[in-house]
Amino acid sequence: MSAPTIVEPTPAERIRSVCMVPHAAVLVTDEYDAVTIALHHVLGEELIVAVSDDAPPLHGLQAMVEINDISPLPLRERTRSLVWISGRIFETHDGAELARRVADENPLPGLLDVGNGTRLLRLPIDSAVLADASGAASVTGSELSIAQPDPFADYEFSWLTHVESGHPEMLGQLSRRLPGKLRGHRIRLLGIDRYGIRLRAEHHELSDADVRLNFPQPVDDMAALQRGIRILLGCPFLNGLRAG
């Protein structure tokens, strides 16, 4: 029997998803120390970031933004991926209008602080790199502009923490789908997206292994997501998996 086809988000889609939700991030230039970023969002072919009003003047500098995609669960290695986005940074003269445009796509809470302690900057994207345990991939600003973030990107963290705390039996059911060589590992939830669930197998001596379990078909809304999860669990009528 041939192995099932593994379908997963493209690097551009994954970067869009990482940029859509709050993560630890810094902006680096040659002229100044790293500046902490309060929010980040891809708008067209630009990365919009917010920094403190106390941050130095950055207009026109070549810059790189590093975003650390950290798991909400206490994994042995909590960094799931790193994203580096490079380009030349520019101050903006109409922060309120730019904040409105970002909010139309992604109403981040940090937008409320723009003009009241933080300011927005624009970074036209020259390149973006995604790196994780499987390797690294580079995409362009134009590729990011047409990629779509995962529809469950802002739901993922609450779902992971909900299952970890309230449905530990799920991991036992999902573990039965993993290769036998991983049965001595500690199985943890790593992520969820429209294509399936990602698991991490932790071992006290061996290297960790990440495994993807695909849904029968990609899902685009909450009802389809719940059906896909129940099918993976082998229990079509199981309820109570929605994050509270």
- pLDDT of 155 reads 95
- pLDDT of 203 reads 81
Q: Work out the number of other CB atoms within 10 angstroms of the CB of residue 85.
A: 29
The answer to pTM > 0.85 is yes
Domain limits, the chain:
11-146, 156-233
Q: Which amino acid makes up residue 75?
A: L
pLDDT cut 70: percent of the chain above it: 94
pLDDT cut 90: percent of the chain above it: 80
* Those residues with Cβ within 8 angstroms of residue 19's Cβ, 6 or more apart along the chain or in another chain: 40, 41, 42, 47, 67, 83, 85, 149
* Those residues with Cβ within 8 angstroms of residue 193's Cβ, 6 or more apart along the chain or in another chain: 8, 9, 17, 150, 152, 153, 156
- Which pLDDT tens digit goes with each residue over 64-84? 999 999 999 999 999 999 999
The pairs formed by 180-188 with CB atoms below 8 angstroms and a separation of 24 or more are 182/209, 182/211, 185/209, 188/73, 188/75
Tell me which CATH code domain 156-233 carries.
Answer: 3.20.180.10
- pLDDT of 3 reads 57
- Domain 11-146 = CATH 3.30.420.40: no
- Which pLDDT tens digit goes with each residue over 209-239? 899 999 999 999 999 999 999 999 987 555 5
- Which pLDDT tens digit goes with each residue over 121-172? 999 999 999 999 999 999 999 999 999 999 999 999 999 999 999 888 898 8
Q: Give the C-alpha separation, 19 to 84, whole Å.
A: 11
* Chain CA centroid to CA 2, Å: 31
- pLDDT of 179 reads 84
